[in-house]
Amino acid sequence: MATFHPGDKTGKGTTHTDMVKTITVALLMYLIAPEVVHAQTGEHPGRASILAELERKLEENAKKESVGSITAAVIAGEQVIWTKQFGWVDREKKVPPSPETLYLIGSISKSVTGVALARLVEKGVLHLDDPVEKYVPEIKGLKNQLPGSPPITFRHLATHTAGLDNEPEMPEAAKGPFEAWESKVVAAIPATSCRKRPGEQYSYSNIGYGILGLAMSRATRQPFDQLLQKTVFVPLAMKNSGLVLSAEGVKNLAVSYANTRPYGQGRGYKYPNGGVYATLGDLVNFAKAQMHTGFAGFLAGATWEKVQDFQATTNESDDEKYGYGLGMSVWTDKKGRKWVYHNGIVAPGYSASLYCDLSAKMGIVILRNDSGSDDVAGIADEFLYKLTEAKNKK
């Protein structure tokens, strides 16, 4: 068994002046949460030293890369107990991260889409086991469908058990503005092959989430960006989050330092699975909802179980179990701990990690505007494990 819960580490910074850093930290601590406390070493032995180690690790990471920024927060219950940022969101203009800085969060967008789906199920708009072809008849055009395959359902797409390719065999499928994303999905369907029968096996699929988003949009008869606003962003006070940036949002977007792909090229079909922009504070709120330490009544307990339980199992041993719920990776161990988490990395040069320990009610969020050479997802994984171990030993 690994020393730390390994997770699905798909995620992959120069410090500024002390005065700017201090002011920005203060703003983050004030705006991320109404009540922010620092580590209380008397109550939680070892917490302060672990947070100091985390800070050193992220600062070293940012200095080593010499580009971009890292911004992070640790949540305990309802409170943000630690938040720091390093480097520049715009290196040339020497702009440090702020509470309004937006990052593209990559595949954590799947988590947002999964929660939106759960809310539609709870409201009776659709059912997890409804055939998707009811809303997207074009799905019948998938390539290489296996004889005797059952219809693909919302559950199959949301849990990566539809048996589809990860990506369509279509040039520039991931390029194009939001206004054209639905046509991109439709065009990508006949360029997507079936590898397994639906329900047979977990197989991660980006295009599957594209089709899922299209089906949800059609089922509710509203554009997908409006659907996410109504079902997730507004109820969870994720006031800066969205799929399309306003003029102000473009100004607040952290510059990508992984390559030169401009924002204006869009995400093609990938909006439901990788197109969400968010701030650190927005994802802190999303984590609180996942941990049930904030936003009571957002989802009923039975509905949260659908999101956070093993809809699909990806790996299992005597000591631990890995799987996927509705848009969330899930991990449990023999000690009774349960984590939900997701990582995201985007070709334009952003990476994001969100990890929540549901048993300890602790979480960590890390955002970066440079894919970097270090495993930031692994850092999130490692330090949440250390922090929850320290809490359990108090």
pLDDT bin (cut points 50, 70, 90) of residue 284 is very high
User: Rounded to 5, what percent of the chain is helix, strand, coil?
Assistant: 40, 20, 45
The rounded distance, in Å, linking the Cα atoms of 40 and 49 is 11
**3-class secondary-structure state, position 154:** helix
Percent pLDDT > 90 in the chain is 76
Q: Determine whether 193 is exposed, middle or buried from the number of CB atoms within 10 Å of its CB (0-12, 13-18, 19+).
A: middle
Query: Residue 125: what pLDDT?
Result: 98
Confidence of residue 20 (pLDDT cuts 50, 70, 90): very low
Read off the pLDDT band of 374 (50, 70, 90).
Answer: low
Q: Are 10 and 107 in contact (CB under 8 A)?
A: yes
The CB density around residue 151, as the number of other CB atoms within 10 Å, is 14
SS3 89: coil
- pLDDT, position 263: 54
Q: Tokens at residue 239, please?
A: 């006031």
Lowest-pLDDT choice from 89-93, 139-143, 262-266: 262-266
Residue 281's Cβ-count burial label (10 Å; 0-12, 13-18, 19+) is buried
Give me the DSSP letters along 8-72: ----------HHHHHHHHHHHHHHH-SSB----TTTSTTHHHHHHHHHHHHHHHHHHH-SSEEEE
- Return the higher-pLDDT residue of 266 and 19: 266
* Rg of the chain taking only CA atoms, in angstroms: 20
For the chain, list the domains and their CATH numbers: 18-106+239-393 (3.40.710.10), 111-228 (3.40.710.10)
- For CA atoms 95, 97, 101, 104, give the dihedral sign: positive
Question: How do residues 186-205 score in pLDDT, each as one tens digit?
Answer: 999 999 999 999 999 999 99
> Which of residues 349 and 95 earns the better pLDDT score?
95
pLDDT(214) > 90: yes
Residue 347, pLDDT score: 66
Q: Given pLDDT bands bounded at 50, 70 and 90, which one contains residue 14?
A: very low
Question: What is the average per-residue pLDDT within 329-342?
Answer: 95
Cα–Cα distances (Å) from 157 to 110, 164, 312, 367, 380, in that order, read 11, 9, 11, 27, 27
CA separation for the pair 40, 81 (Å, rounded):
9
What tokens were used for 50?
């672990």
In whole angstroms, what is the distance from residue 282 CA to residue 118 CA?
19
Q: What are phi and psi of 342, to 5 degrees?
A: -160, 150
- Span 107-133, pLDDT tens digits: 999 999 999 999 999 999 999 999 999
- The neighbour count for residue 35, using CB atoms within 10 Å, is 7
Cα–Cα dist 115/121, whole Å: 10
pLDDT tens for 57-69 read 999 888 887 778 9
